[in-house]
Structure 1
Amino acid sequence: MEFKISRESIQQFEDLIAEKNEKELLEILKDIHFADIAEIMNELSEEGAIYIFNILDSEVTAEILLELDENVRENILKNLSSKEIAEELDELNTDDAVDIISELPQERKGEVISELEDLEHAKDIVDLMRYNENTAGGLMGTELVSVNENWTVLTCVKEMRKQAEHVSRVHSIYVVDDNQRLKGRLSLKDLLTTSTTTHISDVYIRNVDYVRVDTKDVEVARIMQKYDLEAIPVVDEMGRLLGRITIDDIVDVIKDEADKDYQLAAGISQDVEANDSILTLTRARIPWLILAMIGGFVAVNVTRSFEGAMEKFRILFFFTPLIAAMAGNVGVQSSAIIVQGLANNTISGSIWKRLLKEVTLSLFNGFILSIILLLGSHFLLQVDYMIGITVAIALVSVIVIASLIGTFIPIFLNKYGIDPALATGPFITTSNDIFGILIYFSIAKIILGF
């Protein structure tokens, strides 16, 4: 059952910490999942979080460290000695241990690694630290169960028992040759129902999904999502088995990528959090705000170039916000669909067919909206029919152009290796505002002749 945090429960913890009532705190915490304990610690003061951490066993605190907010984890690690941090890392899988070490100051990393008691564990951690964190190598853990294709089933079971002592969860049994090259996977059912004298080479499954050590993390996530995998093996350039990536690591990748895309769509150029400093948040937001302001100046100049319309058809200017808003909204809608398709790898076929589909859709939507605009402007605003028709035609044109821009820009950015999520933010909105106003007044000038 999920633990629910309330203001009352946090107050209870704060009171018990103030009283230093360790016994009652441990009694309450013993039945709470480590992820919920981390959530409680995130809500406590720095001193309170450290007190909770210090009274718990390292088996629990090691898991808690992974779930804490970054700033809370940083404060706790600052208050631990290198030996104490090493004791926490000894309880973690190699991939999780690397995540913790990577957040330490450079001078402390070596100190912590030298304090690790399990030398094999320390070697694996050092090896993993060489890989880029955004690749399969940076995501993988070395804890897995592998068997040699030349072993008999009996030998295989004995070796698996030894290996399983160091693996918290066995997702798959991987089969390798004498050079540690990945050959396939072994079904637990086949292992249990086959004679003990049978060789593994006679029963293992040769079809196995895998990724190379330099595969990008988002590509690993796409593969695991597509094939519904709980874990996937990682191999080097020679096909040798190095480790495995589990679904919990991929969930983190998907979440981080979604957060990044959401921030890009909102016009935030860096990965930031609400608790970051004002200076950090300003650096993340100001580039796109400056772009939006420049776009605003361009839009003002476009409007000024049609000054003649102010003298003869002042009513046109009252429709300018409507045209600009529709251009921006349609562009964002179109780009959002394309960006989602690119992220899920579901965009296929010719770009021209995609653009033709968007034109057809936008014409249909534009026709409906223009009818509503025409009727509304005449009966509610008492606008002359000729003005209404002009604005309606301009609206259809703007919607078509905005949808084409919203479709083409993400595909273009993706082709040249730029995150297409950029196209759903201020960039697409500002550009469509400018094009929308330009098209609106150009069509009005042609029809009304000012």
Structure 2
Amino acid sequence: MTPFKLSEELIENVQLLIEGTKDSELLELLEEVHYADVAEIIDDLNLEEATYIIKLLDSEKTSDILTELNEDVREKILENLSAKEIAEEIDELDTDDAADIISELPDERRQEVISELEDREHAKEIVELLRYDENSAGGLMAKELVWVNENWNVMTCVREMRKQAEEVTRVHSIYVVDDDDILKGRLSLKDLLTTSTRTPIKEIYIPKVDYVNVHDKAEDVAKVMSKYDLEAIPVVDEMQRLVGRITIDDIVDVIREEAEKDYQLAAGITKDVEADDSIWQLTRARLPWLFLGLVGGIGAAAIMEGFEEMISKYAILFFFTPLIAAMAGNVGVQSSAIIVQGLANDDIRGSINNRLWKEMLLAFLNGLVLAIILFFVVWIWKENPIEALAISASLIVVIVVAGIIGTFIPLFLNKRGIDPAIATGPFITTSNDIFGILIYFLIAKLIIGI
């Protein structure tokens, strides 16, 4: 299969067909194109052209297209559709995708769309999903799944599975429940096919099954599915009743969104924004951290003013200030990035003290190697071993302190329930710059003897 490639020629062709209302040619062009690729085409069209395609294509395809569209584009398209037209799209979707789209609508519009849904059972399940937090297992799950009762025999089980499978896009697992819908285990398809039709399911199902609770965080669900390489996982309520399932495609979205959020935090962006957002939205997301950097710079300048006499006498100390600040910031970010990654992957175990000692030793070894190199560079350059010793010794201490701060802050934030990814951004860089400059001049003053 040749990978789809969006080109200006294709976009222009689509626009010309829309302009000329050549519906049959447009349908023929898009017929064999995957819905995700059609969504990519629509993202490059204006609102009128995008709406035209959505109304032209069959709801079975456009419903999937809507789930793949950029959120801003989807929102504008839905504003151009009637409640009945949106309901026709929703009727074609699995409950999880349907709930995601409906949750983006204004409250009044949401009620109108739900009232227009033809499948009332489908509508009921969507409403149930809307009650859950979008970042919880309940907000991620779909109601479509295949389940069997432990008291059925194999023949009854197969007959019931055929009925259920008609409503399920892909059957990942077969779950076993009791008469009260309590999750009991899972059923192996191999065991089902190789066992007598009269055998009770209770005798062949596997009681061990991984599951999550409706109120578990989406990130925790992702960790479980990643750890055990699961394609799907059942979801239970407070009474251990089976209420839905989460599939790997939903978890991939969670992982991607979390990675994007962490990347933005590391870059000093406090809100979830995209490149196409307004200047005002982008300014609000970036300005807080830039203000922090401004405060840090003023603080560093104030510290240097306190050592004005020493700087005027030993100008070389001033020349190496950017190096000290940069090394402090870099080491802090390196340490915090490793810790944040470990926390995200659930690899950080043991006491904080052990982690700090390890990072302190690592920082000391790195600092010692760099300080030895710097010592000889300054000595050869200025032919003053005392100045060289002051600068290189300061570098060791600055690197050790930066490593400790970069390790401690994300661990501390995580303990307090705050996203530790904040610690990989300008916050850690600015704090280490200030501490680094202060330590640099204090140690230099101590060694030089002023």
* Range class of TM-score, shorter chain: over 0.9
Q: Report what 1:431 is aligned to.
A: 431
What is the rounded CA distance, in whole Å, between the counterparts of 1:64 and 1:420 in structure 2?
35
What is the rounded CA distance, in whole Å, between the counterparts of 1:136 and 1:142 in structure 2?
12
Q: Secondary structure of 2:233's match? A: strand
- Aligned-residue offset at 1:272: 1.0
What is the rounded CA distance, in whole Å, between the counterparts of 2:152 and 2:71 in structure 1?
46
TM-score, structure 2 as length reference: 0.98
Q: Report what 2:236 is aligned to.
A: 235
| Aligned pairs for 1:197-212 within 5 A | 197-212=198-213
Amino acid at match of 1:424: T
- Aligned-residue offset at 1:383: 5.4
Q: 1:363 to 1:154 in 2, by over 3 A?
A: same
Q: Report what 1:447 is aligned to.
A: 447
- Aligned-residue offset at 1:27: 1.5
What is the rounded CA distance, in whole Å, between the counterparts of 1:161 and 1:42 in structure 2?
38
Amino acid at match of 2:61: V
What is the rounded CA distance, in whole Å, between the counterparts of 2:396 and 2:12 in structure 1?
58
Query: Can you give the 5+ residue segments of structure 1 that lack an aligned partner in the other structure?
Result: none
What is the rounded CA distance, in whole Å, between the counterparts of 1:70 and 1:198 in structure 2?
50
Q: Report what 1:415 is aligned to.
A: 415
- Aligned-residue offset at 1:314: 1.3
Q: Report what 2:161 is aligned to.
A: 160
1:145 aligned to 2:146? yes
Query: Can you give the 5+ residue segments of structure 2 that lack an aligned partner in the other structure?
Result: none
Higher mean displacement: 107-116 or 358-367 = 358-367
TM-score, structure 1 as length reference: 0.98
What is the rounded CA distance, in whole Å, between the counterparts of 1:50 and 1:377 in structure 2?
67
What is the rounded CA distance, in whole Å, between the counterparts of 1:229 and 1:345 in structure 2?
17
| Aligned pairs for 1:189-268 within 5 A | 189-268=190-269
Q: Report what 1:88 is aligned to.
A: 89
Residue by residue over 1:313-361, the C-alpha shift from the partner in whole angstroms, topping out at 9 and shown as x without a partner, is 1111010011000000000000000000000000112222211211221
Q: Secondary structure of 1:242's match? A: strand
What is the rounded CA distance, in whole Å, between the counterparts of 1:305 and 1:13 in structure 2?
67
Q: Report what 2:405 is aligned to.
A: 405
Q: Secondary structure of 2:299's match? A: helix
What is the rounded CA distance, in whole Å, between the counterparts of 1:354 and 1:389 in structure 2?
30
Amino acid at match of 2:59: S
RMSD: 1.1
Residue by residue over 1:175-227, the C-alpha shift from the partner in whole angstroms, topping out at 9 and shown as x without a partner, is 00000000000000000000000000000000000001100110001000000
Residue by residue over 1:8-60, the C-alpha shift from the partner in whole angstroms, topping out at 9 and shown as x without a partner, is 22222222222222222221211111101101111122222122222211011
Residue by residue over 1:413-447, the C-alpha shift from the partner in whole angstroms, topping out at 9 and shown as x without a partner, is 00010000010011100000000000000000000
- Aligned-residue offset at 1:376: 2.9
Residue by residue over 1:138-157, the C-alpha shift from the partner in whole angstroms, topping out at 9 and shown as x without a partner, is 11110001100000100001
Q: How many residues are aligned here? A: 449
Identical-pair percentage: 66
- Aligned-residue offset at 1:385: 2.5
Amino acid at match of 1:105: P
| Aligned pairs for 1:277-288 within 5 A | 277-288=278-289
What is the rounded CA distance, in whole Å, between the counterparts of 2:235 and 2:124 in structure 1?
18
Residue by residue over 1:376-407, the C-alpha shift from the partner in whole angstroms, topping out at 9 and shown as x without a partner, is 3344x445232122111111111110001000
Q: Report what 1:296 is aligned to.
A: 297
Q: 1:297 to 1:77 in 2, by over 3 A?
A: same
Q: Secondary structure of 1:234's match? A: strand
Q: Report what 2:275 is aligned to.
A: 274
Q: Secondary structure of 2:363's match? A: helix
Amino acid at match of 2:438: L
Q: Secondary structure of 1:80's match? A: coil
Amino acid at match of 1:427: F
Amino acid at match of 2:129: L
Amino acid at match of 1:397: V
Amino acid at match of 1:414: N
Residue by residue over 1:45-82, the C-alpha shift from the partner in whole angstroms, topping out at 9 and shown as x without a partner, is 22221222222110110000000001110111011100
Amino acid at match of 2:408: F
What is the rounded CA distance, in whole Å, between the counterparts of 1:23 and 1:374 in structure 2?
77
Amino acid at match of 2:157: C
Q: Secondary structure of 2:246's match? A: strand
Q: Report what 2:62 is aligned to.
A: 61
